[in-house]
Amino acid sequence: MSMKEATLPKVQTKLFINGEWIDGDNKETKDIVNPANGEVIAKVVQAGPNETKQAINAAKEAFPDWAKMELADRVKLLHKIADLMEERADTLAKIMTIEQGKPLKESKGEVLTGAENFRFAAEEARRLYGETIPAPNNHAFIVKKQPIGVVAAITPWNFPGGMVTRKLAPALATGNTIVLKPSGDTPLSALAIFEIFEEAGLPKGVANIVMGSSKEIGETLTDSDDVRKLTFTGSTKVGQTLFKQSAETLKKISLELGGHAPFIVFDDANLDAAVNDLVAAKFRNNGQVCVSPNRIFVAKEIKDKFTKALVSEVEKLKVGNGLGDVNVGPLIREDAIDKIDKQLKNATDKGAKVLTGGGRLTGSDYDKGNFYKPTVLDNVTREMDIFYEETFGPVIPLITFETEDEAIEMANDSEFGLASYFYTKDLARVEKVGSALEYGMVGANEIAISNPETPFGGVKHSGFGRENGHYGMEEYIQVKFINLKYRD
Ligand code: NAP
């Protein structure tokens, strides 16, 4: 690839507060690093409590006018944002791949889904129906759905655009104003979306973005009584901290946290479909996905056949810089490699067997980035850390089962409850297993569980609240009851 192709497109690096791109008080910046080659691609302005308070104030001031803007005008503006995202999809995708590593095709898909988030939210805002409830004579019981106020959003690095649009589209469509803190590793995709907000004509103060110390910014957001809602996607540990911190100010909260998805292949499954779907789901974004299949339960009768086909498909994957023609990019940071190595060592020490992969990729361009071999690990048991810990990398752990009940029991043996998948042709089994899995989402012979129209979210330590669909809109409204008496 030429130097020109590998260069970061022009994108803002400053804070956006009250409609202005500004530097932080301390004039500090943070280096943003391309995980494919270790190069510093941008220096991004850093903020602290002071700038965060300014952003909260700007959002508070902007709220009344934004909340009462004619719905038709708000809908038009959100469609304009979607239009601009679609027009610039190639540029936005390139920014995403250079800062995060995923293959360009995946980045473009994420950008287009982001545009779709804005279209869906704009249209759904027209259907944010209230209710009238049967009331005594001379009265009307009216239920209205109103925006909450200032929303704080904190997002992770694995979907640097998608996690932002999923939150901001419904929050804005329902009439709220925003302070966003994107991941410190990947703020550029979020900044590119804010450039589009500005160009589309979003009124000043309606959406603000701050980067900097996540602890300080997080505390300022949770301590503020002006912030009435917190929406967070990230690790369970940070989610728990933010939940605790929000107790004093009693915020409405949604938490999309970690996952450890089971993927069950029953003896009557379409094996080709199960293998292809598993490889597609597992190696999407190099396994750095909260809904990535992490524990693969395979029926004893088909285990050998399934494993052979799986290893053959995994060995075909091409790993490299996401800007090139590859299936899998680098991991986000060096410490991600250490975590996977540690999980693998713990498993092999206890009897697991590496069938393919099993270590860092080295040599030529691989030495500059965080590349890992796509890995299949057999004979995994509950004694190993990988059975219970989220992997967040390109490892497929195989576990053999004998009965349907055993598969369900093992699949549910996790503190997490986000996504789950199973493959079978038996409809009675679909009903039984689909109901028994303790997960917020179930893919039955299907891996596409994340769509702009359908509820996305988890149970147990995967958090609460839903994104996408009309459920995602409900997270950003409050219900008001009015008892109207017509005459004295
Ligand atoms: P993370 O460490 O929890 O970080 C997520 C966000 O929280 C980042 O913006 C981070 O900022 C910020 N943060 C960290 N410490 C904070 C604090 N004390 N107060 C306020 N904010 C704080 O998670 P990650 O490593 O970025 O993402 C991986 C995790 O996210 C995985 O567990 C994955 O399963 C989960 N995830 C869940 C979903 C879902 O929808 N359920 C989707 C994607 C990812 P800095 O980066 O600046 O520190």
- The whole domain housing 230 covers 15-257+462-481
- Ligand 1 pocket test, pick from 155, 164, 183, 251 with the greatest ligand atom count within 8 Å of Cβ, gives 183
| 215 and 309 inside one domain | no
CA of 257 to the centre of ligand 1 (A): 8
239 vs 22, 135, 232, CA distance in Å? Answer: 29, 41, 7
CA of 234 to the centre of ligand 1 (A): 3
Helices assigned H by DSSP within 39-180: 49-68, 71-87, 89-100, 104-125, 162-173
Is the pLDDT assigned to residue 113 strictly greater than 90?
A: yes
| 245 and 380 inside one domain | no
**pLDDT (0 to 100) of residue 6:** 79
State the catalytic residues.
256, 290
Radius of gyration of the CA atoms of the chain, in A: 23
440, part of any domain: yes
| 35 and 138 inside one domain | yes
Q: Which band of pLDDT confidence, cut at 50, 70 and 90, is reported for residue 364?
A: confident
CATH number for 359:
3.40.309.10
| 176 and 130 inside one domain | yes
CA of 469 to the centre of ligand 1 (A): 23
| 363 and 326 inside one domain | yes
Mean per-residue pLDDT for 421-436?
98
Is the pLDDT assigned to residue 4 strictly greater than 80?
A: no
- Ligand 1 pocket test, pick from 44, 211, 232, 235 with the greatest ligand atom count within 8 Å of Cβ, gives 235
| 219 and 107 inside one domain | yes
| 428 and 477 inside one domain | no
| 206 and 76 inside one domain | yes
Domain count, the chain: 2
Is the pLDDT assigned to residue 238 strictly greater than 80?
A: yes
**pLDDT (0 to 100) of residue 396:** 98
Read off the pLDDT of residues 168-213 as tens digits, 9 standing for 90 and up.
Answer: 999 999 999 999 999 999 999 999 999 999 999 999 999 999 999 9
193, part of any domain: yes
3, part of any domain: no
| Strands ordered across the beta sheet of 463-464 | 20-22, 15-17, 207-209, 177-181, 150-154, 227-233, 252-256, 463-464
CA of 66 to the centre of ligand 1 (A): 29
| 177 and 217 inside one domain | yes
Is 250 buried (19+), middle (13-18) or exposed (0-12) by CB count in 10 A? exposed
4, part of any domain: no
Q: Ligand 1, atom 39: nearest CA belongs to which residue?
A: 256
| 427 and 477 inside one domain | no
| 189 and 253 inside one domain | yes
Residue with the bigger pLDDT between 2 and 451: it is 451
1, part of any domain: no
Q: Ligand 1, atom 9: nearest CA belongs to which residue?
A: 183
Q: Considering the chain, what percentage of its residues have pLDDT values greater than 90?
A: 99
**pLDDT (0 to 100) of residue 156:** 98
CA of 184 to the centre of ligand 1 (A): 10
Pocket around ligand 1 at a 6 A CB cut-off: 154-159, 181, 183-185, 214-215, 218, 233-235, 238, 241-242, 256-259, 290, 390, 418
In ligand 1, the atom with minimum distance to the C-alpha of 241 is 18
121, part of any domain: yes
